[in-house]
Structure 1
Amino acid sequence: MQALAFLLDAVVSFFCTLFMLRFMMQTMRVSFGGQIGDFVVKLTNWAVKPLRRVVPGFGGFDWASLLAALALQLALSGFLVALAGPLVSAEPGLIALMAVKFALIALLRLAVYIMIGALILQAVLSWVNPYSPLSAPVNQLTRPVLDPIRRILPPISGIDLSPLVAILLLQALLMLL
């Protein structure tokens, strides 16, 4: 059962990451025209397109992508709680509430990990290949996080420390979650 739980967690995590990335890219107005955008859209359309008929976008947010990520994470949480069923002696309503709590926290943590990964990728690309096709979407994704920090901490001798500060703040947020 551990192997099945591991494989299921890996597949669900992969697709939840794609759904959250699609949600974040839409929220941050990142272009879906490049390779990354095309990859994310093609691998998530199977769930997002049908959900958009029921849950349309509103307020500039792609709620269908977020709902798809939540549904997958909720299914995984429910499965893992069901596996631990004999170990958990609580009423079914409490178990369902626990699964929802785990799913929401997992999605928040995933969004933070995506942002940390994007910040690290941006830093590496700025050193190695600043004109990479990945640079523009990564810059667009991280700009809303870095701009407020850059207003407080401008570049020092041409070195931008805002990604380091952002990663530290995101790590602190992960500790809270």
Structure 2
Amino acid sequence: MNVSGAFRFLIDYAFMIYLSIVLARFILQLVRADFYNPISQFIVKATSPLLNPLRRVVPGVGGIDMASLVLFILLVVVKLALYMYVFHILPVLNPLQMFILLLMSIASTVINFFLFVIFAAAILSWVVAASGNYNPVVDILNQIAEPVLAPARKIIPAMGGLDISPMLVMIALIFIKQLFGLNGIP
């Protein structure tokens, strides 16, 4: 039995899911997404318990909710601290090494988030197109992915009804992960 490995798995995925929800909250505000969408409402309710007290300390800047960004960074710091001090997966690092690891972990998390969103939006768009129904999940995923996909769509427009910009962007994101050595970063 590998109790510590199973526990680490649960902790890791709990952090990954909540980090994704907090990041989605920040990005939804940046893209001015529809906050009446049921998925947006879920994201708001899931993040409010930690964000509301943080908003008292961290003000918004230029209409951007900085508290959600600060919460995201704090959660990444907590995750890395757990990896170092509880699970002993990472060695104890000096402050400069910790800062670099923090930046790499943030970049890796953001890239993984966009890879998932773009992939899910592409797959679900086929399913929704086949059924012809509106789906709030697809709507939110498209709103999040559109700022990342728009530059690729200018380079390669849809050809014959087939949009390959998601594939181009996903290849570029994976290339960036490889280039900066972000694979395997917690």
Aligned to 1:134, the other structure's residue is in SS state helix
Are residue 128 (structure 1) and residue 127 (structure 2) matched? yes
- Which residues of structure 2 form unaligned runs of 5+? none
* Percent sequence identity over aligned pairs: 31
Are residue 36 (structure 1) and residue 35 (structure 2) matched? no
Q: Give 1:104's aligned residue.
A: 103
Match runs of 1:24-173 below 5 Å:
24-83=27-86, 88=91, 94=94, 96-130=95-129, 131-173=134-176
Question: Is this contact kept in 2: 1:28–1:140, CA < 8 A?
Answer: yes
Q: Give 1:21's aligned residue.
A: 24
TM-score normalised according to structure 2 size: 0.81
- Which residues of structure 1 form unaligned runs of 5+? none
- String of CA shifts for 1:17-38, please: whole Å, max 9, x gaps: 2111111111122222212111
Question: Is this contact kept in 1: 2:8–2:87, CA < 8 A?
Answer: no
- Shift in Å at residue 49 of structure 1? 0.8
Number of matched pairs: 172
- Shift in Å at residue 61 of structure 1? 2.5
Distance 2:11 2:100 in 1: 19
Aligned to 1:17, the other structure's residue is in SS state helix
Larger helix fraction of residues: 1
Distance 1:72 1:44 in 2: 12
Distance 1:103 1:167 in 2: 23
Aligned to 1:39, the other structure's residue is in SS state helix
- String of CA shifts for 1:34-77, please: whole Å, max 9, x gaps: 12111111111111111111111213432111111211211221
TM-score normalised according to structure 1 size: 0.85
Question: Is this contact kept in 2: 1:123–1:163, CA < 8 A?
Answer: yes
- Shift in Å at residue 10 of structure 1? 2.6
Distance 1:17 1:51 in 2: 18
Change (3 A) 1:133 1:5: closer
Distance 1:127 1:116 in 2: 17
Question: Is this contact kept in 2: 1:81–1:99, CA < 8 A?
Answer: no
Distance 1:101 1:41 in 2: 30
Q: Letter of the 1:112 partner, please give it.
A: I
